[in-house]
Structure 1
Amino acid sequence: MAKRCMVTGKGPMVGHNVSHANNKTKRRFMPNLRTIRVMLEDGTTQKIRVAASTLRTMKKESK
């Protein structure tokens, strides 16, 4: 399963691990995905994977 937010499309980013000796090795920053249930227009529910930052924005917008 892809590590991608179904709402915003946010996915893994790349960067470096940097040691104290300033050695750089590649690493990946994964999005913080959460599974939530969403009610559709026809009354059924569906599970979608959403980034935590997106979920926070969605909760802010619903107030």
Structure 2
Amino acid sequence: MKGRIKTHLFTLPRWFALAFFGPSALIGSLLAGGTLAELNTWLGFIAVAFLMAAGHSQNT
């Protein structure tokens, strides 16, 4: 069970792709009128990161 959890958290999500998804989320927040100092910007970034990871994990 531990092995499966580690696989789904570290191997399958392909975290290297966050370099492409993350800036898109931050730029989108800035274009919508937000700033990098707002909590909502970073909550959105975290949400995008987890959605990206879940999508990649389910795709494999």
Q: Which has the higher strand share?
A: 1
Q: Which has the higher contact order (CA 8 A, sep 6+)?
A: 2
Q: Which has the higher helix share?
A: 2
- Tell me, yes or no, whether TM beats 0.5: no
| TM-score (normalizing by structure 2) | 0.35
Structure whose alpha-carbon radius of gyration is higher: 1
